[in-house]
Structures are given as C-alpha cells and as structure tokens.
Structure 1
Amino acid sequence: MTETKLKPFIRKNLDVLFVALNPPYQSNKNEHYFSGSQSRFFQLLSLSGLITTNIDRSQADEKVFGDILYNHKKSKYGVTDLIQHIVETNSSKVKATREDVLSLCNTIINYSPKYVCIIHSKVKAAFERFPNEHIVGNLVYGNCGTILKDCPSVFFYNYFPNGNNIPDGPKLKIFEELKSLL
C-alpha cells in the first residue's frame, strides 16, 4: 500500500472547505492536491472567479489553500479527502466506510467552515450509504443548505472537475453561486 503524502489544508475560520474522495497516485507522488496532469480543479476555480488568476497546478494548493493572495475577496479555502489513507486514481477501487463518513462529519462540525463543497459523487454516495446522527439533510447538485445537525456550515455539491463528460457550464455555475456568497 502506498503511503499517503498529502496532508489536509484545514483550520478554523475557513470560508470554503473543498472535500474530495481520496488522494490519487499522481497528486500524492507530487505531494500537492489536484496536481495530476489531468486535473482541472484550479482551472475551474479560476474560470469561476473563486481564484483571481490561473495558477500552475504543480503548487497551486499551497497558494490557494495555504494563503489568501489569489483567492476571491481574500477568502480562506481548505481541502480534505473523505478517505485520506487510500492512494488510488481509479475511484471505482475506493470504498468508503461508515467510519470515514463519521470522521469527516466530526471534522466539519469541529472546524465549522462557512461553506463545504463536495466535489465527488462517491462522497455523496458515502453520505447516503452511511447515515449517522449528524446528517440531517441531503446532497443535491448546487446549494444544499445545512445538512449536519448543530453545524452552521452550508453545503454545496458539485460535479467532479475532471475525467467525465460533464461540460464545464454546470460546474462553473455551482462554483459561481458559491463565489457570490463570499
């Protein structure tokens, strides 16, 4: 099993916490989130205006999640994975557990970011498959409102940024709505 080298960018007072499924091989090897050759995440953030310029993905995570210089209105962004301990590019091989979902819920409740943006359908599926005492709402594309009991974080659910046939339009629309609330 490959050792996980990606460490979440998460702290108190975040404006947006992005939640992905797990570290893929290339990003893990590069030790930077969304740094794989096929990743379009930062490009979509730029096109939507969530970041003010297109940043080279090789170290964009440090600039976007570790700093505020390039973020819309100097907003504070973070990122984590539902499953931090499995390095795998093929998401069909990644299986979430009840413990993964509960751990993520507890992390979100503890840090209470203003907004949480889920960016993978398998994260949504895990929330549905493994409900717990914290989950009181549903994830639907776009603004989902608050879905965790006793947690003010508003959830957004967006399409995975790369590796699918979904055009950029719907992805950008959701990111643009999120931007409008910052």
Structure 2
Amino acid sequence: MKNFVSVLSVLLLTSWAGIAHAGLMGATVGADFYYPNDTSLYCSNGTKTVDATVEYPTSCSGFSVVSIDVSDTQVIVGHSGNSFASGSFNGFVLSVLSDLSITSLMYDAAASTLGVTSYGFDASSAYFNFAGQLNGTAIFDINSSTNAAVPAPASIALIALVIAAMGWHRKQA
C-alpha cells in the first residue's frame, strides 16, 4: 500500500505540474507584413485558427510567393519569388491572440533553405525579418505556455489530499 500511495502522489503532482505547457494548435493568430521598416504596416493577413492546414497559403491580397504555416510547435515560411527587398525590415509579425505566451523561438538553419535577417519574440508576438533574403523555406521552432492562472484552492486541496493519504497509510502500517 505504501508504494501505491507514493506512486499515486508522484502521478498527481507530475500531471498537475505539466498543465501549463501548451502548443499553438487551436490558437488564434494574426499575421501582419511590414515594409520598409518595422513600423510601416504593408498589409494585414487577418486572423486564423492554427490547424493542420497552411494558415496563410498566400499573403496580403493574394501575393502568392509567400506562405506561412503555423503548427503546434513550428512556423514555416515559404518564399518562391525574387528576393525580399532590402530595407530595415521586410517580413511579418505573427501575433498570438489566444491565452498563450510565446516562451521560445529558434531558427532551424539546418532544415531551412531561406535565410533570415533577424528574428525575435516577446510574450505575444514573433518577429521575422527577411530583408534582402532569397527564396526558399525558413523553419522556426516555437514554444508557448498558457497564461491561465493555476487555481490556488485546487492546488492546496490536491496537496492536502496527498498528505492525508500518506498519513492514513502510515497509521495503517
């Protein structure tokens, strides 16, 4: 019985601790293109829900040489036209409009054929600058977590339940 209570305690606590991690599948995102700098909105692609399809198969007004595919843990940018024009910024900002925070963003140079001039992120947006880059595919790994608050009363109740079960077991032994 002691092993059962110990295993149950570990399972409850580890499953509770993992709740905060979340991927982008099902999240609402928006993509806005900026050129020739990061304050000049060139056009907006509107909002989409992340699913198994390519969220933005064409960009702004049917400009078909750029596509953006967002998955649970990746952003894949395809470019099949001439090089991106030079400027201080020629790219897009991907905004996460759901209750998620971006926690990391990494360019996968080994798997990409499209270079990136710069990229970065904050809690609600990822920035992708392709100024002067040629065509190809750029792959970015992206991670996020939920912004939902962990309810303290439920957490305290769970810990109390585990302690009570351990005390009951000790009394029985």
TM-score, scaled to structure 2: 0.25
Higher relative contact order structure (alpha carbons within 8 Å, sequence separation ≥ 6)? 1
Largest Rg, 1 or 2:
2
